[in-house]
Structure 1
Amino acid sequence: MFTKAITRKPCKALIDGITTYLADGKPVYENAIKQHDKYVATLKELGLQVTELDADERFPDSCFVEDPAVVMERCAVITNPARDSRNGEKFEIVDAIQKFYSDDQVFHIEAPGTMEGGDVMRVGDHFYVGQSDRTNAEGARQFNDIVTKFGYTSSTVPVVEGLHLKDFAIYLENNNMLVSEIMDKEPAFKDFNRFVVPAEEIYAINSLYINGTVIVPKGYPKTQKAIEDMGYPIKLVDSGEFKKIDGSLTCLSLRF
């Protein structure tokens, strides 16, 4: 059960955010603000107390607060983002994290380990850590050493497409997952009920389960129907401006 979330307002510099979705063009700041406001309002509608951090113009991607930290009930891990343009974000999230955790519950991934929260998918008390261009084996090892002290477990899975694990596999609770065609073949996920999202709707894999409801990106009817057919109530949120800089629904908040 989630009760809290941390978000950060988009900055005007987000037009310079990291992107592979070049065909979609650059995000429009004013539209991004409106979409972000709707996203935060939706979290609040679902019962979360949201801490809204101010925009940080030094870091174009800083609205994606999920990447510089991984939070859970018993501890929090400040990650070590792999890209230079994002690495400084880890220092700016610490104060917000420390409002909710004591000093002995906050840990850091240290170089040469790298990690971004978009590669960390939680299933119960287990974490699947995607090994990707952003999260390396040393980062995953340090993460495992930290969380196992608090009764959690973790294992790694390869990310062989795109940016982060959660762009291609998302757990929706009740043993249900949304996966890409490639992640459908991942042995670690064989015992889950998997819905393979069609290639043209791949962005919709990154839907967000909050306390029984699933927030789904607007504009992906096949995935929306699949989630509804699983029995979940849904809320549609437009995140199209964030898609242009490789961002999606889970990226925009830390939930705990």
Structure 2
Amino acid sequence: MFKNVIVRKPCPNLVSGITTADLGKPDYHKALLQHSQYVDALKKLGLDVTVLEADNRFPDSVFVEDVAICTEKCGVITRPGAKSRRDEITIIEDKIHSHFDHVESIKETGTLEGGDVMMIDDTFYVGLSDRTNEAGIKQFRDIMDKHGFSVHQVTLGDILHLKTGVSYLENNTLVIIPEMIEIEYFQSFNKIVVPPEEAYAANCIWINGTVIIPAGYPVTKQKIKVAGYDIIELEMTEFKKLDGGLSCLSLRF
């Protein structure tokens, strides 16, 4: 069960964020509205939401998931693989320290982004990607070993982050894109397979029995509903333009 969430407001410089999508520049005011609706949904689900102020020095800083990892035993400050995002850790460190007695950090030459880290019970699955390297995964494994967690490295194909293509909905269930269903670590899970044309919907978040999904993906919505989950749909068009998904916008613990 989650109790706390940290988010950061989008900044006006969001329009200069990193992207591989060919969807045009985000509309800042529309992004503000969508982010506000996201925060309202989290509050509706009973979470204590900390909203950090926008920081125009960092166009991508709304995606707070990438700069820290929150576990029940410790916090970890990451080291983003995108060089333009590395100094974002300076604007999250104090907040992580305020929530956790024990905080560790990923050091050079390691890189690790939270979008590559998926926790299932006492195991972390970490994507080896363009943003997260083997040195970063090793450091993270060494940290988690001290706290009784296991870490498995997952080699990714042509996706940005692990959680771009798979999300855990509790109850031994994954929402997953077709190209990831054969990964050895995921064989024992029930799988809700997202059709290729709805791949963006694979990034969704489970919050205490309810699944938040991006609006506009009816096949995935129906599959999740049939699996027995309550659903909240949120517009995510402006964050999709920056390769961002629902999980990217918050640190949940």
**Fold match (TM-score > 0.5):** yes
Mapping of 1:1-256 within 5 angstroms?
Answer: 1-22=1-22, 24-102=23-101, 105-256=102-253
Instruction: Note the residue ranges of structure 1 that are not aligned, 5 or more in a row.
Output: none
SS of aligned partner of 2:73:
coil
In 2, Cα distance between equivalents of 1:178 and 1:101: 30
In 1, Cα distance between equivalents of 2:149 and 2:3: 20
In 2, Cα distance between equivalents of 1:106 and 1:164: 23
1:37-86 residue CA offsets vs partner (Å, 9 max, x unmatched) = 00001001111101100001011000000000000111011000011111
Shift of 1:187: 1.1
2:72 aligned partner, one-letter code: E
SS of aligned partner of 1:67:
helix
2:212 aligned partner, one-letter code: I
SS of aligned partner of 2:119:
strand
1:36 aligned partner, one-letter code: H
In 2, Cα distance between equivalents of 1:126 and 1:143: 12
Percent identity (aligned) = 51
Shift of 1:16: 0.7
2:97 aligned partner, one-letter code: Q
1:178 aligned partner, one-letter code: V
In 1, Cα distance between equivalents of 2:72 and 2:182: 31
SS of aligned partner of 1:15:
helix
1:54 aligned partner, one-letter code: E
1:123-161 residue CA offsets vs partner (Å, 9 max, x unmatched) = 011100000000111100100111111111111101112
Please, which moves more after superposition, 180-189 or 29-38?
A: 180-189
1:194-213 residue CA offsets vs partner (Å, 9 max, x unmatched) = 12211110000001000010
Which contiguous aligned blocks of 4+ residues in structure 1 show a shift greater than 4 angstroms?
A: none
In 1, Cα distance between equivalents of 2:53 and 2:11: 9
Instruction: Note the residue ranges of structure 2 that are not aligned, 5 or more in a row.
Output: none
In 1, Cα distance between equivalents of 2:154 and 2:198: 23
1:168-200 residue CA offsets vs partner (Å, 9 max, x unmatched) = 111111011111111011111011111221111
Shift of 1:92: 1.0
Say what the alpha-carbon RMSD is for the aligned residues: 0.7
1:87 aligned partner, one-letter code: R
